[in-house]
């Protein structure tokens, strides 16, 4: 009796496996629309994040250069200090996105908060995009204020 039950289970398992493998067409290899959309949204959030990082690095270089050519007694110097402070606060909002690596060079300043990153894992892909867009927009405001200051000082 025990042998019959085991052989029946074994044969049933083989039939189920065979039907799974034979019923799956080429579409099984391609991600479905929801998976493609999720991958696309994740890529979009990462792209926004990476673009913000690149713009931030370029801004930082411009800010350093402006500090170098501005006299400490110039009234714009204190405005540069304020922009630098805003930039440092903004930099803290740049958190590593779920599924990406922390890519700091040895000795590089560590800006983001790993505890905050854990909270991001609960966000949907659309919410991550919205968050990255807001962070990017905040950087745009700092850069616009910097550009205005530089153009007024000429």
Supply the range of the domain harboring residue 150: 44-98+109-154
Buried (b) or exposed (e) across 93-115, using 16+ Cβ within 10 A? bbbbbbeeeeeeeeeeeeeeeee
User: Which of 21-35, 53-67, 86-100, 102-116 has the least mean pLDDT?
Assistant: 21-35
pLDDT, tens only, 81-100: 999 999 999 998 888 887 77
DSSP 97: P
Structural domain includes residue 55? yes
How many domains are contained in the chain? 1
Q: What percent of the chain has pLDDT over 70?
A: 64
Structural domain includes residue 131? yes
| pTM of the shown model | 0.68
How far apart (Å, rounded) are the C-alpha atoms in residues 56 and 86? 12
Q: Which of 135, 98, 101, 140 is nearest to 120 (CA)?
A: 98
Residue in the block written with tokens 């370029």: 58
Structural domain includes residue 86? yes
Contact 147, 80 (CB under 8 A): no
Structural domain includes residue 76? yes
pLDDT, tens only, 16-38: 333 333 333 333 344 444 444 54
Structural domain includes residue 57? yes
Buried (b) or exposed (e) across 116-136, using 16+ Cβ within 10 A? eeeebeeeebeebbebbeebb
How far apart (Å, rounded) are the C-alpha atoms in residues 47 and 64? 26
Average pLDDT for the chain: 76
């Amino acid at each position: 009796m025990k042998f019959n039950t085991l052989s029946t289970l074994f044969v049933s398992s083989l039939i189920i496996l065979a039907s799974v493998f034979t019923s799956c067409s080429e579409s099984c290899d391609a991600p479905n629309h929801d998976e493609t959309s999720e991958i696309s949204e994740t890529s979009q959030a990462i792209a926004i994040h990476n673009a913000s990082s690149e713009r931030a690095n370029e801004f930082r270089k411009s800010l350093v250069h402006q500090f170098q050519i501005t006299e400490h007694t110039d009234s714009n110097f204190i405005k540069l200090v304020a922009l630098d402070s805003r930039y440092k606060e903004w930099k803290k909002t740049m958190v590593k996105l779920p599924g990406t690596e922390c890519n700091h060079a040895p000795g590089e300043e560590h800006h983001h908060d790993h505890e905050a990153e854990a909270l991001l894992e609960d966000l949907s892909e659309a919410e991550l995009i919205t968050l990255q867009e807001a962070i990017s927009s905040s950087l745009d405001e700092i850069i616009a204020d910097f550009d205005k200051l530089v153009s007024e000082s000429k």
